């Protein structure tokens, strides 16, 4: 590979750019972003080598689409329209069914690979980009059979070089499962933060009394609404289902509290401790 173009040079795209530049020193990384400040920051931080536009994508060996999921649905067909027949296009969004459907009948569908690296932080923008964000992280690949084999190989080599684990899944299953393990946790964090802000009017009290447990639980509430609102909108059906189940559990816990059934509360918390075994080894 000689030229990689990253559309969206924020945390996810910028971190990919940093790792590509580290692993492939001879590759030139170009950035495309509708935020000019992001591009200037990315160049100053050596996240990318130069700015580019869609007119330059004909020269791309690989294009990585790292923008909010609603924008990805609109922009992916435009990207496929202008690339060469040998270019690989990857998207890294948190929902997969809508973007796959958007290019289902595109003449260059074989050039596209739908992926979702399970990685990130609560921060955004190119200044948040970090090296090795994807090391030892799982990357979900959807509809791999619709991507031409040579381009599959190119993508898998990149993911291997970045130290990622691969999991294959259909888009519907991906969006259903990710609603539980990612989207619900973000909603919980946002709503806990909202509850505390509304109840504790004195911000100094929140700062002084918040322990590490609270800080870690509301960490995701620092995430960008520009990114997460489109995710919730695209995955609305699955997110509502997870919320309904979550609310049932919260209501059940409240009812046990009201009836002083602390033995059952203890047993349920004890059983839930099993989550630490499931998540052992996750950074």
Contact call for residues 29 and 51 (beta carbons, < 8 A):
no
User: What's the Cα-to-Cα distance from 219 to each of 47, 53, 158, 184, rounded to whole Å?
Assistant: 25, 35, 30, 14
In the chain, the number of structural domains is 2
- Note whether 38 and 140 are same-domain residues: yes
Domain with 192 in it: what CATH number?
A: 1.10.3660.10
Residue 233: what pLDDT?
97
- Note whether 244 and 115 are same-domain residues: no
Residue 8: what pLDDT?
97
* Residues of the domain holding 151: 3-169
Residue at a domain's end among 169, 190, 209: 169
- Note whether 163 and 186 are same-domain residues: no
- Note whether 81 and 219 are same-domain residues: no
Give the CA dihedral 129, 66, 229, 241, nearest 10 degrees: -110
Residue 262: what pLDDT?
96
Going by DSSP bridges, is the β-strand pair 138-142/112-117 parallel, antiparallel, or unpaired? antiparallel
pTM: 0.87
- Note whether 162 and 196 are same-domain residues: no
As averages over each run of 10 residues, the pLDDT of the chain (283 residues) reads: 95 96 96 96 96 97 97 98 98 97 98 95 90 95 98 97 96 96 93 83 61 76 92 97 96 97 95 82 57
Contact call for residues 51 and 30 (beta carbons, < 8 A):
yes
Residue 276: what pLDDT?
81
- Note whether 104 and 145 are same-domain residues: yes
């Amino acid at each position: 590979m000689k030229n990689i173009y990253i559309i969206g040079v924020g945390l996810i795209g910028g971190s990919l750019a940093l790792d590509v530049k580290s692993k492939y020193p001879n590759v030139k990384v170009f950035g495309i972003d509708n935020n000019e400040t992001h591009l200037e920051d990315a160049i100053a931080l050596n996240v990318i080598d130069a700015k580019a536009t869609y007119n330059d994508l004909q020269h791309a060996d690989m294009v990585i689409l790292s923008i909010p999921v609603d924008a990805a649905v609109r922009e992916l067909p435009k990207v496929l329209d202008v690339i060469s027949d040998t270019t690989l296009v990857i998207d890294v969004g948190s929902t997969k069914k809508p973007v796959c459907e958007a290019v289902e009948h595109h003449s260059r569908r074989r050039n596209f690979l739908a992926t979702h690296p399970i990685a990130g932080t609560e921060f955004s923008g190119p200044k948040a980009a970090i090296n090795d964000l994807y090391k030892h992280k799982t990357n979900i690949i959807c509809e791999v059979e619709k991507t031409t084999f040579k381009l599959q190989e190119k993508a898998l080599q990149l993911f291997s070089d970045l130290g990622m684990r691969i999991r294959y899944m259909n888009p519907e299953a991906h969006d259903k499962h990710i609603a539980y393990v990612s989207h619900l946790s973000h909603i919980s964090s946002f709503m806990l933060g909202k509850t505390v802000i509304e109840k504790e009017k004195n911000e100094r009290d929140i700062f002084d009394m918040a322990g590490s447990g609270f800080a870690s639980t509301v960490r995701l509430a620092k995430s960008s609404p520009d990114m997460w609102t489109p995710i919730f909108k695209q995955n609305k059906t699955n997110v509502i289902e997870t919320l309904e189940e979550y609310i049932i559990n919260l209501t059940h816990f409240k009812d046990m509290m009201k009836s002083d059934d602390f033995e059952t509360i203890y047993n349920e918390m004890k059983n839930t401790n099993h989550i630490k075994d499931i998540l052992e080894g996750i950074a």
